A and B are shown apart, each in its own frame.
Chain A
Amino acid sequence: MIITKQKNFKDLLNSVGKGPVFILGCKECATLCHTGGEEEVLAMKDAFEKKQVCVSGWIVLEPACHLNNDKRLLRPFKEELSKSKNILVLACGNGVQTITEIFGDKDIISGTDTLFLGEIKRVNEFDKRCGICGECLLDLFSGLCPVSRCPKSMLNGPCGGAKGGKCEINPEMDCVWDQIYNRLKQSGKLHLLEEIQKPKDWSKSLEMRREI
């Protein structure tokens, strides 16, 4: 899931000016991380209106990153959208740009910062799990990813800085190499770590388009 964080309300207020603003949410990731579901969209609407900002309408898209579906869902709001000066999108960076593609003449405002691809650990707790590097190496590391979860992306880790299983750059973060070690030890596969892992092919992370 794409994990987002809502931007500071004051900054958003500054961006939308006096409006009218149309608010878009997303029924998938942004709903699950409580940044752009129906609840958050309505809360944003209320907050704007309390500051005398005109809100021309709102909808939660299913999901915001689906171009043709967005066009279909937005069709009934033609009038409200035409009088809107700007559109606030409470979705990930991808969702925002799908909306940019639809509207040629509106100011599109991103309501969130997109943080990472991660898992929902518990309610309202999210952990990074993937760096979208284009070539999955999980098989080599007992299903745990050092590319996205080690701040140095070390393939021949661990470094010398972890303490008590925690990462040197953030003591609240588990050292993924500590986890890899323990898991391989448990399954009697520690010998896998003896092999020198070659430099990664980062060109795989440059993919910009895929067609099936």
Chain B
Amino acid sequence: MNFRSHLEEVLSSSKFAVTAEIGPPKGSDPNKITKKAEMLKGCADAFNITDNQTAVVRMSSIAGCCILLKMNIEPIMQMTCRDRNRIALQSDILGAYALGIKNLLCLTGDHQSFGNHPNAKGVFDIDSIQLIQIVKNMRDKGIFQNGEKILAGRPNVFIGAAANPFAEPFELRIDRLRKKIKAGADFIQTQSVYNLDKFNKWMDEVKSNGLDKKIHIFAGVTPLKSLKMADRMKFYVPGVDVPDTIYNRMKNANSPKKEGYEIALEIIKELKNNNGIHGIHITALFWEDIISSLVVETGIRPIH
């Protein structure tokens, strides 16, 4: 079988997959990405390059992905609907594939009011589900959103999407996942998991609806580096659910950093045992150097 990307190949085998996030720098220095990538090479099957995450201006995702490609590392290009309309998005999809980018994660995007240019006009011409459908039609039917034919080369990308098992209303989460599958998503990366009970409840629903057979699911893991970060995650970041038990462990720990690492290990071990999950997606904010030991200690990757 011809796989669209290395990531798709890994997921098609029975191997437990790992993706990890690399945030591009607030500047033009490519070394910021190459350094992180060198450190993380081998820890994950593919690396997400974020698209101006939290609406803060950074080096573009497409450029970050190209820097990884030069290093023979497979990127997942994140693409949000906040800053580009359907014309720009489709154009960048064509361009990204032409440059060798084979995985695309479709997101609506954080609202600009959360970022560093809150006076900007948000585009939101389309939403994530519409973007998934547009990419799927470009890839499989060779048509643009307006129905016109793509004339020279379809973007044969592996399509990703996000899901938040902790968002409200809970009953709608499965419907929305189903909708993303219907729109054409091949893989899902979830919001960071801290509340395992709630996550498992969501996974039970996913499995009882047979959705884990229709799409590859990565569970999100974000190690807590400090009490300050636990505070932020629990009280300020929309859509994240840090239960009191986890929060109190961080609060009472002699070394919150060590405790945060332990918590991440426990979460990964539990996620690994859930047969509906095909991999984990690690977002180690300002703590990328921890990823290597996380994947080794949990037995997901061999010691290198």
Q: Residues of A at under 8 Å CB distance from B?
A: 199-203, 205-206
- In the assembly, what is the distance between CA of A202 and CA of B113, in Å? 10
Contact of B118 with A by CB under 8 A: yes
Which residue of chain B is the closest to A198 with respect to CB atoms? Answer: B119
B119 touches A206 (CB 8 A): no
**A203 surroundings in chain B (CB, below 8 A):** 112-113, 118-120
Residues of B within 8 A of A201 (CB): 119
Which residues does B use to contact A, with CB under 8 Å?
112-113, 118-122
**Which secondary structure characterizes the binding site on chain B?**
loop
CB B251 to nearest CB in A, in angstroms, measures 35
Task: List the A side residues contacting B122 at CB < 8 Å.
Answer: 202
Return the chain A residue nearest B121 by Cβ: A202
CB distance from A185 to the nearest CB of B (A): 30
- Chain B residues with Cβ below 8 Å from A206 are 113
Contact partners of B119 in chain A: CB under 8 A: 199-203
Contacts of A205 in B (CB 8 A): 121
Smallest beta-carbon distance A45→chain B, Å = 38
A202 to B121, CA, bound (A): 5
With both chains docked as a complex, state the minimum distance between the C-beta of B236 and any C-beta of chain A, in angstroms: 19
B112: chain A residues within 8 A (beta carbon): 203
Return B82 CB to nearest CB of chain A, in Å: 12
Which B-chain residue is minimally distant from A153 (CB atoms)? B121
Closest B residue to A201 by beta carbon equals: B119
Q: Complex: how many Å from CA A202 to CA B122?
A: 8
| Nearest CB in chain A: distance from B53 CB, A | 19
Whole-angstrom distance from the CB of A53 to the nearest CB of chain B? 33
User: B238 CB to closest chain A CB, in angstroms?
Assistant: 16
- Min distance, Cβ B154 to any Cβ of chain A, angstroms: 31
CB distance from B263 to the nearest CB of A (A): 37
A199 to B119 alpha-carbon distance, docked (Å): 9
Contacts of B121 in A (CB 8 A): 200, 202, 205
Contacts of B118 in A (CB 8 A): 203
CA distance A199 to B118 in the complex (A): 12
By beta carbon, the residue of chain A nearest B113 is A203
Task: Offer 9 A-B interface pairs, CB within 8 angstroms, sorted by A.
Answer: A199-B119, A199-B120, A200-B121, A202-B120, A202-B121, A202-B122, A203-B112, A203-B120, A205-B121
Task: With both chains docked as a complex, state the minimum distance between the C-beta of A67 and any C-beta of chain B, in angstroms.
Answer: 26
A208 to B204, CA, bound (A): 38
Q: How far in angstroms is the closest Cβ of chain A from B56?
A: 15
Most buried by A among B112, B120, B121: B121
Question: Which residues on B sit within 8 Å (CB–CB) of A200?
Answer: 119, 121
**Closest Cβ–Cβ distance, residue A201 to chain B (whole Å):** 4
CA separation between A206 and B112, bound complex, in Å? Answer: 11
Chain B: minimal CB distance from A169 (Å): 15
For the complex of A and B, the 9 pairs showing the least CB-CB separation, nearest first, are: A202-B121, A201-B119, A203-B119, A203-B118, A202-B119, A203-B113, A202-B120, A206-B113, A199-B119
